Amino acid sequence: RTHKITLIPGDGIGPEVTAATINILEAAGKQTGCSFDWHNYDAGADAYAKTGEYIPKALYKSIEQNRVALKGPVTTPIGGGFSSINVTLRKKFDLYANFRPVKSLPGLKSNYPDIDLVIFRENTEDLYAGLEVMINPDIAQSMKIITRKGSTRIAKSAFDYAKKHGRKKIHAIHKANIMKLSDGLFIKCCKEVSEEFPDVTYAEHIVDNTCMQLVLNPYQYDIILTENLYGDILSDLCSAFVGGLGLVPGANLGAECAIFEAVHGSAPDIAGQDKANPTALLQSAVLMLHHIDEAATADKIQAALEKVYAAGKTLTRDVGGKSGTRAFSEAVIAAL
Ligand code: NAI
Ligand code: MG
């Protein structure tokens, strides 16, 4: 089978981790009998320089047609400049569920062994929508909008996933003691959905306490269900349990299409130096392979990846190794 997939390598470390990931997918596909027709697009500052658009119309069209995209990180300027490409794509395609599994790989030393938790982050609303105005030069206003529709469908995604995968417990994370109306509506919807799933334990934790609870004992969490901004922050926190941002994958899921990307950003501090760990994007690609019914290819890659981690000889610097992006990806290919 040949799969048409929209590819956005991104910038910073994006092109390096994307090249590594593609090479591994191609090599695995050769063994399992699947191939890929990559439709390659720039986005962000690079796209603007070439086409005058931050997100070229052809890219939108490609995602509409292929309905699956693999995406590297794209730099978002701080303060002024253009709006986040990530946020724009998530809103444009209504990719309302951001699914982020945080799972320990074998062989890595950590204060938190055998972590296996999942984050469901609402992906289209909240303060993250960036609805902001200057009231006057000295007062800025950011609008937090939480809807019944948005909250109910992310809760439903989390509970459906729990049921399908035999997960036992969902914590809705909120700050409804302070934001009584917006976060109040969010947990009200989560609670309502929970009543349709009597086999899944449902609890609510306040987000600041959750940060402490996670660091003290992350094992008390199974599925974290939360709003957009809290989910953004908790994802980076949770990535540290399993070795950091170089490892944790993600999927932006909607009714029509899906974009698979790592949790991490463009890491300008290590870009272009063959230092980035491609594992996070590779594991995002593994999620993508499951999504397009290529489970055999997905499993093959995951097994090879775990073999390389268990051996511990060719790891990147972020997880205590000495190898570069390319050497690491060659080791994964050799282990396939
Ligand atoms: P970042 O995630 O790019 O980097 C944070 C730290 O983690 C850095 O020390 C970096 O070197 C390290 N790191 C990240 N990914 C790594 C990898 N694969 N291997 C090894 N080390 C890795 O976060 P930062 O620096 O706050 O953001 C940089 C840019 O990325 C910003 O413009 C931000 O807006 C953008 N960004 C884009 C995202 C996306 O495209 N989905 C997501 C998050 C941030
Ligand atoms: Mg983030």
What domains are there in the chain, each with its CATH number?
Answer: 1-95+247-336 (3.40.718.10), 111-242 (3.40.718.10)
Q: Locate 192 and state its tokens.
A: 């309502």
CB-count exposure of residue 75 (10 Å: 0-12, 13-18, 19+)? buried
Between the CA of 233 and the centroid of ligand 2 the distance, in Å, is 6
pTM of the entire predicted model? 0.97
| Residue 298 confidence class, pLDDT cut points 50, 70, 90 | very high
Edge-first strand listing for the sheet containing 35-40 = 35-40, 2-8, 68-71, 258-261, 251-253, 97-103, 116-122, 223-226, 169-174, 201-206
Rounded distance, CA 283 to CA 94, Å?
A: 23
Instruction: Calculate mean pLDDT across residues 15-44.
Output: 97
Residue type, 5: I
Q: Which amino acid is at 95?
A: L
- Flag whether pLDDT at 229 surpasses 90: yes
pLDDT of 46 reads 87
Q: How many CB atoms lie within 10 A of CB 48?
A: 15
CB of 280 closer than 6 angstroms to any ligand 1 atom: yes
Atom of ligand 1 nearest to the CA of 280: 18
Give per-residue pLDDT as tens, 154-195. Answer: 999 999 999 999 999 999 999 999 999 999 999 999 999 999
CA distances from 99 to 51, 52, 102, 223, 303 (A): 32, 32, 10, 10, 21
6 lines ligand 1 (CB under 6 A): no
3-class DSSP state of 117: strand
Widest CA span in the chain: 61
CB 164 within 8 A of CB 196: no
Q: Which of 48-57, 130-139, 184-193, 240-249 has the lowest mean pLDDT?
A: 48-57
The amino acid occupying position 280 is: A
Ligand 1 close to Cβ of residue 324 (< 6 A): no
Q: CB–CB of 8/41 below 8 Å? A: yes
Q: Which ligand has its closest atom nearest to the C-alpha of 235?
A: 2
Residue 2 has pLDDT above 90, yes or no: yes
Q: Are 114 and 104 within 8 A, CB to CB?
A: yes
Q: Whose CA is nearest to atom 11 of ligand 1?
A: 267
Residue-wise pLDDT for 69-100, tens only, equals: 999 999 998 888 888 999 999 999 999 999 99
Tell me the pLDDT band of 68, cut-offs 50, 70 and 90. Answer: very high
Q: Does this complex have an ipTM over 0.95? A: yes
* Active-site residue list: 128, 175, 208, 232
- Between CA 82 and CA 45 the distance in angstroms is 9
Of 40, 89, 101, 87, the residue nearest 284 (C-alpha): 101
Q: For a pocket test of ligand 1, which of 245, 260, 283 has the largest count of ligand atoms closer than 8 A to its C-beta?
A: 245
Question: Can you give the pLDDT at residue 80?
Answer: 82
CA–centroid distance, 231 to ligand 2, in Å, is 8
> Is 325 touching ligand 1 by the criterion CB < 6 Å?
no
Q: Whose CA is nearest to atom 44 of ligand 1?
A: 265
